[in-house]
Amino acid sequence: MSSGKINVSVENIFPLIKKFLYSDHEIFLRELVSNATDATLKLKHLTSIGEAKVEYGHPTIEVKIDKENKKLHIIDQGIGMTAEEVEKYINQVAFSGAEEFLDKYKDSAKDTGIIGHFGLGFYSAFMVADKVEIITKSYKDEPAAYWTCDGSPEFTMEPADKKDRGTEIVLHIAEDSVEFLEESRIRELLQKYNKFMPIPIKFGTKQQALPKPDDAPEDYKTEYETVDNIINNPTPAWTKQPSELTAEDYKSFYHELYPMQFEEPLFNIHLNVDHPFNLTGILYFPKLAKDMQIQRDKIQLYQNQVFVTDNVEGIVPEFLTMLKGVIDSPDIPLNVSRSYLQADGNVKKISNYITRKVADKLKSLFTENREDFEAKWNDIKIVLEYGMLSEPKFYEKAGAFTLYPTVDDQYFTLDELKEKVKDTQTDKDGKLVLLYAGNKDAQHSFIDAAKAKGYEVLLLDSPLVPHLIQKLEADNEKLVFTRVDADHIDNLIKKEDTAISKLSDEEKEKLKTAIEGVVPAATYTVQLEALDSSAAPFMITQPEFMRRMKEMSQMGGGGMYGMGNFPDM
Ligand code: ADP
Ligand code: MG
């Protein structure tokens, strides 16, 4: 038996770990299951390169509650440790065994998916336990070791008689952490952090129906057997190649990710890059509700299949945070502040990559199946419009697939529209004039009148339209958007006005004076029978610029849909 002091600096570190290392005490389980996973993946690697001459088999990780004795066990069948290794990897706090392992096996171990980085994960156990035991046996032919520590820097170590390879960690749960002895709490944590980890994780048992025998009698009652309850899916869809997956697979993964979500996603984007950073994932465009309540299901960030957070702010460009799905990248710095995250070069690259990838996918959806894309347009437009306004890189690409629907449900790109109206809808300065309505019912008489003149009328009804129009006009010198009920629509009309007045001039004057008496002349213009074939005897219009001012001031300030502040225009 040996005993000693872990490290002089530890005396100061321990209370820090207990209190401040992780604000969330629950992550101890994530760390210990990650270590068990690392240990198993290390063994897999060593057997595959022939360095460990043992059978890899089908190792699992087990999490077990012993409520009576207030203990929680995490048991793996991985690489294990010799006494010497415990001394080195466990006693030397902040010495990262994982880091060393990766250094040593640099090239061959790159893709093993080992998680540890900081050499502090193990000590997070002391956030919830007042005593921790390790019983471990290395894959090497050496005696097992037993280590225990009560949270002070003193530890003891002695040989153990464990026969099978692997490591068992025993936590003596502290009085203030008894919640971690509850089955429901542990199940919840495993579901949250470990749902897609690469090694099967066993937690308790469950009843499983036996297949009905062929010669079952009439009154056959289903029989059950007790089987291990495996809580995770070790090979989630995002770890596979797109070519291995069907449309159905993507959909069922969506529901696996969000069990409470019953709507089908509109389409998905499979992310897969390994240079200059490593990132995989699947993003889904959800069907957005009209009123867009705060989205409960968010994009989840993983690191080597370990859940990290569902706050992807800074990693995913803001306009895409309305999407759903997963991103898995070992190259996003962990355990660091958000501001650091934003300053990190890799993180910015990742965000740009995602923007580009989403734009490319939208473009290919548009070119490959335009009809389908048009059908989905109303569900996705708000995300795209917001992207165009907030991400210059996205704006550059979006012209190729952004659609402008007409009041008759036809969809055009901006280029198509320009081509279509170039001979019929210009003003005196030679600018193309695109007429649009914001509300089909309210503006129907203006719409009918404009259509009767042979004009295209767009239906632009999203709340971002005033901003988008301003941007498009700024970037397209020869383009103006004009509301279909604007006062100067008549000025751009080049064709002969064919309306024949049924009122005498005197009658017209009278009518005009009467109307002007009730509407403020400074803000409205009264037109009599100005628009042919319109059923309306007169129309009251408002100058375009006044309307826009009003719309913008109504929209200004405040966040949109929880997307944060609106970009300054
Ligand atoms: P990290 O995982 O970042 O290296 P930890 O504090 O979580 O840091 O673990 C320290 C080291 O202890 C690991 O790198 C590993 O060498 C060793 N270790 C921890 N848990 C196990 C385990 N279950 N099996 C084998 N080795 C382990
Ligand atoms: Mg670790």
State the ipTM, two decimals.
Answer: 0.99
The arithmetic mean of pLDDT across residues 163-181, rounded, is 96
What pLDDT does residue 503 have?
A: 66
16: Cα within 13 Å, side-chain hemisphere? 9
Answer yes or no: is the C-beta of 125 below 6 A from any ligand 1 atom. Answer: no
Instruction: Write down how long the chain is.
Output: 569
Q: Are 544 and 466 in contact (CB under 8 A)?
A: no
53, with CB counted inside 10 A (0-12, 13-18, 19+), is exposed
Ligand sitting nearest the alpha carbon of 92: 1
pLDDT in tens, 56-88: 999 999 999 999 999 999 999 999 999 999 988
Q: Per-residue DSSP letters for 369-413? A: -HHHHHHHHHHHHHHHHHHHHH-HHHHHHHTTT--EEBTTS-EE-
Ligand sitting nearest the alpha carbon of 99: 1
Let me know: does 145 contact 157? Beta carbons within 8 Å: yes
Burial class (CB in 10 A: 0-12, 13-18, 19+), 6: buried
Collapsing DSSP to helix, strand or coil, 290 comes out as coil
Does ligand 1 have an atom closer than 6 angstroms to the CB of 77? no
**What is the 8-class DSSP label of residue 301?**
E
Q: Is 39 in the pocket of ligand 1 (CB under 6 A)?
A: yes
Among 33, 25, 30, 27, CA closest to 202: 33
Which of 99, 141, 132, 136 minimizes the C-alpha distance to 116? 99
Which atom of ligand 1 is found nearest the CA of 35?
20
Bond prior to 153 in cis (omega within 30° of 0): no
Give the CA angle between residues 472, 476, 477 to the nearest 5°.
Answer: 130
Residue minimizing CA distance to atom 7 of ligand 1: 121
Cα 252 to Cα 264: distance, rounded to the nearest angstrom:
9
Asked whether 92 lines ligand 1 (CB < 6 A), one says no
* Run of H or E including 156: strand 154-160
Q: Which atom of ligand 1 is nearest to the CA of 169?
A: 23
In tens, the pLDDT along 482-501 reads: 888 876 666 564 444 444 45
For residue 416, the SS3 value is: helix
439 vs 566, which has greater pLDDT?
Answer: 439
Looking at residue 547, its pLDDT comes to 62
Our answer on whether the CB atom of 21 is closer than 6 Å to any ligand 1 atom is no
Structure confidence at residue 343 as a pLDDT band (50, 70, 90): low
Compute, in angstroms, the gap from residue 255 CA to the centroid of ligand 2: 30
Q: Is the CB of 325 under 6 A from ligand 1?
A: no
Please say if the pLDDT value at position 276 is more than 70: yes
Do 269 and 358 touch, CB atoms closer than 8 A?
Answer: yes
Nearest CA to ligand 1 atom 3: 116
Q: How many CA atoms lie within 13 A of 175 on its CB side?
A: 0
| 317 ligand 1 Cβ < 6 A | no
Quick count: other Cβ atoms within 10 Å of Cβ 566? 17
Is residue 569 pLDDT above 50, yes or no?
no
